[in-house]
Each structure stands twice: as C-alpha cells, then as structure tokens.
Structure 1
Amino acid sequence: MSHLGKPLSPARAWLGPLLLLLGGTCIGLAPIGLRWGLDSLGPQAIAFWRYMFAIPALFLLLIFIERRMPARINGYVIAAGTFFALDIALWHWGLTLTTVANATFIVNLGNVCVGFAAWLFLKERPKPIWFVAVLIAVTGAAALSLGGESGGKTDIRGDLLALGAAFLVSGYMLCSKIARNRLGAMDVIFWLTVTEAIVAAFIVAASGERFFPATLAGFAAPAFLALVAQVGGQGLIIAGLGRTPAAIAGIIVLIQPVVAAAISWQLFDEPLSAIQGGGAGLILFGIWLSQGAARERRQKLASKPSQKTAKDPA
C-alpha cells in the first residue's frame, strides 16, 4: 500500500495534500451540523449517531470499491478511534459553551502539535520552512479566534474543554498515521468509525443524554455529519495521511476553522472582524507555505534514482 521512498509523479505527489484540504473543508462543516441538531439531541448523542449512520455507508463503500471484507483491525486503529471519540465528546461539549471559531481554533492546535509528536516518535523531522508555516498559521488562527468583538458568546469553560480535545487530536493524528502505514485508507476509516461508535455509546450513557430524538427529523443533523464530516471529511483525511508527512498534514487541516468561521458568520450571527479576516488569510498563506517543505521532499525523492545511476554507471 505504501509508496514511501519511491519517486512520485507530480499528480500523485499533490494527491495527499489535496485530499487533506478537501477533508479539512468537510470537517469545517461539522460544527454547523452540530448547532443544527442541538434542538433535538444532546451533543454526545449527535456524535454517537454520526458514527452509527456512517458505519453501513463505509462498509458498503469498502465492499463495492475494494471488493472484499474489511482487513483485521489493529491496536493503532483502536487507539486512534478512542482518541477521536473522546476528542469529539469534549469538542461537542465545548461548542455549546463558546463560539464555533474559538472551539475549532483551540482543537486544531492539536493538529499542529502532531508535527512535533511525529518528529519525536516517527522520526519525521520537519523542514525549517515548516516552523515558519506553523508560526504564520497559528498566528492567523489566533487572530481568527480572538479578533472578534468583545462580549461575544465565548466561555472559558468551553475553551478549556476544547483545549483538552486538542491534546486528544494529537494522539488521534499520530495513531492514524501509523495505522494508515499498515492498512488501506478504507479499512482504517471503517474500523475507526466502529471504535468511535462503541466509545461514544459509553459516553452518552455516562452523560445521561437520551439516545433517541423525539421525532425522526431529529436524525437529520447526525445523518448530515455522518456523510459530510465522517465519511467525507475523516475519510479524506485518513487517505491523505498515507501520502503526506504528519507535520504538513497538521497545517493543511487548519483550513477547518476558516470554513467553520466563514459559514458561522452567515448562519449564527458570528460576524468576522477585519482582524479575523486577516487571520483567515494568514492560515491560508501558512497552508500554502507548508507545501514548500512538501515540494522539497518530493524533489529529493524524485532525484534519488538519477543520483544512484550517476554513482554506479556500470
């Protein structure tokens, strides 16, 4: 499944970052679906049904696309799924107490930290340009989060919950990266979702929330999240992780708060100030700049065969 160490065509080299960008955009819609569903279900129940509705869709996709049953689950997938379910539990709770932009920014700090974790555990040392891209993207994310008008809907309790979720994001991304190096993308996202549904069921029971909405219409928001955020968003991110260094992937998915804040501006009366608009621009610039490290890596991989030939003409 892996193509590590092999020269990549330009199209294939850009596939990983493109998948991550599309996945991050889909995940950016997740808080929108959550806000819509809170009138019918609690935040933890919404997360549970997000996973449950996604499982049959992912199973059918695997059967029709791969034409086989799912491969055997491994410990890294279980760990990643547990981290993600706990992350979403804290994040959903935090979203009920603070703004979409605030909660999404804080959680995504974990995506940046995964670059340092990958450096420590996977020996994926980031290029110098990556540190510059991180500084720019995080500065932009901070401006996007903190640059709004005072007296908004922020609450320190929601921010602290989102901070806890950020630590869990790092564990999820790191374990998913390792799992993706051992299993195909479809297998990883399927077993991740199964694990997340099991963990989420215990969380709903512990929280005291009801499992079922009063009417069938209450399932609309979880169904939206299942297709857009879980199958589309998380699936694309898992696929992209198999083709992109974890450090660069963490910056690319910072597109999430930009998407979330832009849509929330229109739907939830959370307008963006000039500072927040500038912050969104910095995030996008940081994402673009991070691709400099990716381009350098791809050029080195592409040059290896020719260097070997030059040294060994015989």
Structure 2
Amino acid sequence: MTETELHLPPARAWVGPLLLLGGGMLIGLAPIGLRMGLDDLGPQAIAFWRYVLAIPFLFALLILIERRMPKRLNKYIVLAGTFFALDIALWHWGLTLTTVANATFIVNLGNICVGFAAWLILKEKPKPIWFVAVLVAVTGAAFLSLGGETGGKSDIRGDLLALGAAVLVSGYMLCSKMARGKLGAMDVIFWLTVVEACVAFFIVLASGENFFPATLSGFAAPAFLALAAQIGGQGLIIAGLGRTPAAVAGIVVLIQPVVAAAISWQMFDEPLSPIQGGGAALILFGIWLSQGSAREKRKSRQSKSSQKPATEPT
C-alpha cells in the first residue's frame, strides 16, 4: 500500500462500492434487453452480438482516454471471460424458461460465493459484519424470488440452468478481481469482451441458432445490451472490483435482482407481492451493512497512519 493511498480522503473509500452499485443497476437491465430481442434472435446469438457490438466502442474509449493500445491480456482475463460467457449462455437459456426474478436471484448466489472463495484463495478474510450482511441480503433475495404469486412462469429447468450460471459467475468475479491486480479497468473490460465474444461464437454454433436477425431492427436489443450491460454495467463492475474487497463487491452487485424485478413488474406482467417488496428492501439493507467492513478498514488505515513516526518521509 502506498503512502498516497493511506492518506486518501474518507470519501474516496466509497468510490469502489458506488461503481459496483451503478454497474449492478445497469446489469439489472440485461434480462429486460434479452426478452426484448427474443422475437428476432435466439438467446445465445443475442449474447454474442452484445459482446461484438461493444468491442469497437471499448477500443475507441481506450484510445481516446488512455491514448494507447490495449496492454497484453493475461490468463486471469481468459479465465474470467470464459466463465462469464458460459455464465451468460446458461442464464440467457434459463431466462427463457423461468421468471426474471428467479433467474437473476439464483445466478447472483454466485456473487455471494465469491466472498468465501476470495477468503480461501486471495486471503481476503471478511469482517464479521459481512456474514450478517450476507444473511440479510440472501434472505431478501429469497423473498424477492419466492414471494410472488403462485402459477407464475417459473420452471425448474430454468432454475437449474441459473444455478449452473451461479457457479460460473463466482469464478468470473474471482478471476476478474485477480486480473484487476495486474491491469487497469479499461484494459480488463476490453479484453474480457474480446474473450467473451470468441467463446460466445462457438456457443452459437453449438446451439444451432441463426447468427443474424431477419431485419436490421433485430440488432436493437443486442445494441442496447452492449451499451447498457456490457460497456456500462460490466465496465463499472470491473472498475469497482479494483477498489473493493471481493466479498463486499459480491453483496453490492445484488442490486441486480431488485432492478430486474422492478422493471419486469411493468414490462412482463410479473408483479411484486408485498413479500417480494420486503425482500427488495432487505437486499438494500444488506448492501448497506456490507459497507461496515469497509468502514472498519478505513478506520484501521487512519489509525496506522496516525501512528507513523514523525521523521518518516512523506
């Protein structure tokens, strides 16, 4: 840790969680965009074009902002991109069989699991308040998923596909966190998208779906996903992962099912019951609680800084 980092203003400690929160809200639009495009393309082709259409924009942003070519990718980006593309493939498939709230809740269990994986692999031991935040957030997510009216569109096959996606998303989050330790956010999101497009190409081939829609209007939904979910959502999450412990990040991005369920209430006739509304509130409370570990870490840094010898160079 550098001397500059030790003396950052307290407000800067919120930058990472705020980036993750914004990214999670934009990713919450992903299932909405998917359902908008299913009349023109299959779920795997939509994912493929989501990545492909985002690549030139990400490359242009890297050139304009960083004024350089992308740095060389590493093995963590290849792993993270592969995990994410397979995760989205299962999730998109599952979304055609179950409700938006169900699929989004189940796949986001992987975000919680990444906290335990980071503890074991990255030695990022979470603070005690994190376990309370996990319990609150997962309970809220369960209420959001299971508290709806009976006779809905849920299908066990879709739920099982979403469960497989949850396992993959934990690997994506962990490898992305490790990649951020080597490269900047813009390099990581660019190369992640390239890897995801390559993997998605073979997934579309295996699925037998058509690569192209019948009309140009069929590209509208993938273009929306490219801008909102891929560039905006995933980009902000990658940036936030570099500033936030993986365990805390996994809880913050649970804002996704709240956004997805709220929008699908109006668009897809999947109304929220009072139990689901309470579940959404619990998720938001769990996100707030998860910041307790970040607050403790800031206090620890400030304490160490105040104890440094006066003769130490600044």
Normalised to the residue count of structure 1, the TM-score between the two structures is 0.97
1:181 corresponding residue in structure 2: 181
Counterpart residue number, 1:261: 261
Q: Alpha carbons of 1:155 and 1:281: their partners in 2 closer, same or farther (altered >3 Å)?
A: same
1:298 is displaced (CA, Å) by: 1.5
Partner of 1:84: 84
Partner Cα separation in structure 1 for residue 231 and residue 37 of structure 2: 18
Give the counterpart letter for 2:21 in structure 1. Answer: L
- C-alpha separation in 2, matches of 1:14 and 1:56: 30
User: Partner of 1:203 in structure 2?
Assistant: 203
Q: After superposing the two structures, state which structure 1 stretch, 284-293 or 6-15, moved more.
A: 6-15
Which digits, 9 at most, give the CA deviation of each residue in 1:209-241, with x for residues without a partner? Answer: 000000000000000000000000000000000
- Residues 241/231 of structure 1: CA separation in 2 closer, same or farther (3 Å cut): same
How far off its partner does 1:154 sit? 0.1
Once residues 6 and 85 of structure 2 are traced to their aligned partners in structure 1, the CA distance between those partners, rounded to angstroms, is 35
Is the deviation greater in 298-307 or in 235-244? 298-307
Matches of 1:4 and 1:108 in 2, distance apart? 35
1:163 corresponding residue in structure 2 = 163
Say if 1:29 and 1:152 are closer, same or farther in 2 by CA, change over 3 A. Answer: same
**Which amino acid letter does the alignment assign opposite residue 258 of structure 1?**
V
SS of the residue aligned with 1:152?
coil
The runs of 5 or more residues in structure 1 that have no matched partner are: none
Runs of at least 5 residues in structure 2 that lack an aligned partner in the other structure: none
Task: Establish whether residue 68 from structure 1 lines up as the match of residue 72 from structure 2.
Answer: no
Q: Distance in 1 between matches of 2:236 and 2:217?
A: 28
Q: Which amino acid aligns with 1:207?
A: S
**Taking structure 1 as reference, are residues 2 and 76 closer, same or farther at Cα in structure 2, changes over 3 Å only?**
farther
Following the alignment from structure 1 to structure 2, what is the Cα–Cα distance between the partners of residues 115 and 8? 25
How far the C-alpha of 1:7 sits from its partner, in A, is 3.6
Equivalent in the alignment of 2:292: 292
Which letter maps to 1:168? L
* Paired position in structure 2 for 1:19: 19
The aligned counterpart of 2:48 is 48
Distance 1:268 1:71 in 2: 42
Percentage identity across aligned positions? 81
Letter of the aligned partner of 1:55 in structure 2? I
Partner in structure 1 of residue 244 of structure 2:
244
203 and 3 in structure 1: CA distance in 2 versus 1, 3 angstrom threshold: farther
The list of structure 1 runs, each at least 4 consecutive aligned residues, that deviate by more than 6 angstroms after superposition, is 1-5
Name the TM-score, length of structure 2 as normaliser.
0.97
Could you tell me whether the CA contact under 8 Å between 1:145 and 1:276 is conserved in 2? yes
Residue 130 of structure 2 corresponds to residue 130 of structure 1:
yes
Task: State the shift of 1:164 in Å.
Answer: 0.1
Determine helix, strand or coil for the equivalent of 1:308: coil
Give the total of aligned pairs: 313
Amino acid at match of 1:153: K
- The residue identity in structure 1 corresponding to 2:186 is M
Q: 1:57 to 1:136 in 2, by over 3 A?
A: same
| CA contact 1:109–1:166 (8 Å) conserved in 2 | yes
Q: Which amino acid aligns with 1:301?
A: R
Specify the alignment match of 1:231 in structure 2: 231
Evaluate the alpha carbon distance shift between residue 42 and residue 3 of structure 1 in structure 2; reply closer, same or farther with a 3 A threshold: farther
| Alignment RMSD (CA, Å) | 1.7
Instruction: Give the Å deviation of 1:49.
Output: 0.0
1:306 positional shift? 1.3
